[in-house]
Amino acid sequence: MIQVREVTKRYGAKTVVDHLSFTAQPGQVTGFLGPNGAGKSTTMRMVVGLDAPSSGDVLVNGKPYASSPAPLREIGVLLEAKAVHPGRTAVSHLLAMARTHGIPRSRVDEVLGLAGLSAVAHKRVGAFSLGMGQRLGIAAALLGDPAVVMLDEPVNGLDPEGVLWVRNLLAGLAAEGRTVMLSSHLMTEVALIADHLVIVGRGKLLADTSVADFVTSEGVRVVTAAPDALRAVIAAAGVTVTSTGAEELFVTGITAREIGLAAATRGIPLFELTPQNTSLEEAFMNLTHDAVEYEAAR
């Protein structure tokens, strides 16, 4: 569990994180979202004590990170791909981290295998692609078999196969009861992985919500051979039906399931029955619009 409590971080006159509070719970994937410059990376650095908060505090599994006798067992982090000496091999890099905690060599080989890096374990990191660097960073995060895994923009630079791997890996870690938190500035990417969303803008909390609640239903698009018959069947208080084409209707105030059942009882053929949700991207843009730090002139 990660508890961020009333954390503020100032660099000179600039407030990067502003009284931010949220909790990342065990057993679920928490997506940490915000536009560039929203303070995501700074917050993550404060979780592991790389930056000290100007005020407030952060607890990892109920205690300050630095007080843990085995920090790598508490939380594994990927903060920046390729934060590694380019002259060192992947295996030496992980071994150096492992030795601090007396983690055996076998575990190093294990996480390299898990990250699909066994074949390049003895290559220098300087020759790695961005995607391989990300994989190495994720391998490092898993080294101590930690209760919490926190990844900053983990799918940056990964190929589609790698993105899928990260998605399955994180879902698996959460299913094992671990706390998983990942940051991104891309809503669509996080929506596929996360159960819970923490959205920030200019260092302030904008939303702390489940993914399901964040997506609001707009209505249902129906394509049918008999639009008029269907209109008659589903007509009720609170239901509005608009015709959007010869065979197309847009229905609000009733679920797709109810429409389908009603049509079936009267034998009305349906060709399409599609719930229309606000795209997450759109909801995210609406929410963060005012908090965008760097915006293109229009």
Partner 1 sequence: MKITAGGVVAAEWTKFSSLRSTWVTTGISVVLLIAFGAIASASFAGDNLSAVDLALSGSTLAALAVGVLGALLGASEYTTGMIRATLAAVPRRLPVLWSKSLVAGLVAVVVMTAGAFAAFAVGSAVLNDKVGSLALGDDGVLRALFGAGIYLGLVAVLGVALGMLVRSSAGAIAILAGLLLIVPGLAALLPNAVSEAITPYLPSNAGSAVMALTQSEGALAPWTGLAVFAGYVIVTLVAAAYRLKKTDA
Pick from 85, 257, 266, 289 the residue near partner 1 by CB under 8 A. Answer: 85
45 contacts partner 1 (rule: CB under 8 A): yes
Residues binding partner 1: number (CB under 8 A): 38
Kindly state the smallest distance separating residue 79's Cβ from partner 1, in Å: 5
With CB under 8 A as the contact rule, the residue among 18, 80, 109, 248 that binds partner 1 is 80
Identity of the residue, 49 or 116, whose beta carbon is nearer to partner 1 in the bound complex: 49
50 vs 264, beta carbon nearer partner 1: 50
Residue among 10 and 185 whose Cβ is closer to partner 1: 10
Residue 15 falls in which region: left (phi positive, over 0), alpha (psi -120 to 50) or beta: beta
In contact, 31 and 193? CB cutoff 8 Å: yes
CB of 275 to partner 1, least distance (A): 43
Q: Is 100 a binder of partner 1 (CB under 8 A)?
A: yes
Establish if 84 lies at the interface with partner 1 (CB under 8 A): yes
Task: Answer yes or no whether residue 181 interacts with partner 1 by CB under 8 A.
Answer: no
Q: Which three-class secondary structure string do you get for the chain?
A: CEEEEEEEEEECCEEEEEEEEEEECCCCEEEEECCCCCCHHHHHHHHCCCCCCCEEEEEECCECHHHCCCHHHHEEEECCCCCCCCCCEHHHHHHHHHHHCCCCHHHHHHHHHHCCCHHHCCCEHHHCCHHHHHHHHHHHHHCCCCCEEEEECCCCCCCHHHHHHHHHHHHHHHHCCCEEEEEECCHHHHHCCCCEEEEEECCEEEEEEEHHHHCCEEEEEEEECCHHHHHHHHCCCCCEEEECCCCEEEEECCCHHHHHHHHHHHCCCEEEEEEEECCHHHHHHHHHHHHCCCCCCC
| Chosen residue from 8, 15, 25, 89 binding partner 1 by CB under 8 A | 89
Q: How far is the CB of 280 from partner 1 (least distance, A)?
A: 31
When the beta carbons of 84 and 241 are compared against partner 1, the nearer one is 84
x/- track of binding to partner 1 for residues 129-148 (CB under 8 A): -----------x---x----
- Based on the shown chain and the rule CB under 8 A, indicate whether residue 198 belongs to the binding site for partner 1: no
The residue (of 103 and 230) whose beta carbon lies closer to partner 1 is 103
| Whether 234 contacts 212, CB under 8 Å | no
Nearest to 183 by CA among 166, 159, 161, 162: 166
Q: Is 72 in the site for partner 1 (CB under 8 A)?
A: yes
92 sits near partner 1 (criterion: CB under 8 A): yes
Q: Does 62 bind partner 1 (CB under 8 A)?
A: no
Considering beta carbons, is residue 141 or 241 the nearer one to partner 1? 141
**Chain residues that interact with partner 1, rule: CB under 8 A:** 45, 48-52, 65-66, 68-73, 77, 79-80, 82-89, 92-93, 95-103, 140, 144
